[in-house]
Structure 1
Amino acid sequence: MPRTSASLSIGQVAERTGLSVHTLRFYEKEGLFANPVRRVGGHRVYGESDLEWLYLCTRLRASGMPLPAIREYAALVREGKVTVQARLALLRSHQERVTAQIEELQRCLALVSRKVALYEEQLADDGSDPLWTGSCLSEHERQV
């Protein structure tokens, strides 16, 4: 990933990404950047491509990818085109995990939505609290 000519300080990058200066230094120390962070006069200098990379890293983290996997991905990127298959395999594996998480969250959302509907019905009828009564759980929910 070639660097762009824009020169941003660590503080500017922190402001633009929402990451702390401490986190940016940690990411660098842990080898999470695709390219080494440039230094000018002893200060870290970032380009637009670094911001794009950080966005990718934060999305991977937000989706549950562990730091060692992001480190591995960054190392593969640094190695160049010969690692495209390995990068694809790493991302496909993560994609499968994210898909499974989404499916589980959809099941959780369905349960919560049924509970919300139940409480809304109860409040509309007589205001009684159906919490944990036999009628408020479906057969499937009782088994879970």
Structure 2
Amino acid sequence: MNDATRAIGEVAEQLGLSADALRFYEREGLLIGPVVRDAAGRRRYAERDVSWLGVCTRLRDTGMPIEKIRRYAALVRDGGDNHAERLALLREHEAAVSHDIDELIAARAVIRSKIDSYAEQLAHGAADRLWDNPR
């Protein structure tokens, strides 16, 4: 039974992507299997395709390069006994994401400190004495 019933526009909207982005993912070899087409040649997606595209989208959102997503997709496509390699690839990416999160948290702390400083100085009428005021 073929459950490829979802049109490209519907899938794109659900995933927050454009139809062009979905076509790009397909061209780049990021999908697990070939995209089914209807009699008119329009792409049709099964739920498993949509689920996989969701994974790809999250990996891309977290900065995984297309080459690594392509490698991961190839491993999944190959099936077999390559779980250790998949695990290593994902652990490496998770470490990179954790580092990025730590950097963003540190940057947010600096921003919050400046916000607090300005708010306090404005509350006390000292806006003209801000050290980084370009006056």
Task: State TM-score, norm by structure 1.
Answer: 0.84
- Percent identical among aligned pairs is 48
In the alignment, which residue of structure 1 is the partner of 2:125?
A: 126
In the alignment, which residue of structure 1 is the partner of 2:94?
A: 95
In the alignment, which residue of structure 1 is the partner of 2:42?
A: 43
What residue ranges of structure 1 are gaps of 5+ in the alignment? 134-144
Residues 4 and 49 of structure 1 are in contact (CA less than 8 Å); yes or no, is this contact kept in structure 2? Answer: no
Q: Give the Å deviation of 1:6.
A: 4.7
Task: State TM-score, norm by structure 2.
Answer: 0.89
Residues 10 and 46 of structure 1 are in contact (CA less than 8 Å); yes or no, is this contact kept in structure 2? Answer: yes
Query: How many residues are aligned here?
Result: 131
| 43-52 vs 64-73, greater mean Cα deviation | 43-52
Residues 4 and 36 of structure 2 are in contact (CA less than 8 Å); yes or no, is this contact kept in structure 1? Answer: no
What residue ranges of structure 2 are gaps of 5+ in the alignment? none
Q: Give the Å deviation of 1:4.
A: 6.9
- 1:68-107 equivalences under 5 Å are 68-107=67-106
Residues 37 and 44 of structure 1 are in contact (CA less than 8 Å); yes or no, is this contact kept in structure 2? Answer: yes
Distance 1:103 1:16 in 2: 30
In the alignment, which residue of structure 2 is the partner of 1:33?
A: 31
Distance 1:86 1:64 in 2: 19
Superimposed CA distance per residue, residues 60-118 of structure 1 (whole angstroms, 9 cap, x where no aligned partner): 11111111111110000001031111110000000010011011111101111110110
In the alignment, which residue of structure 2 is the partner of 1:53?
A: 52
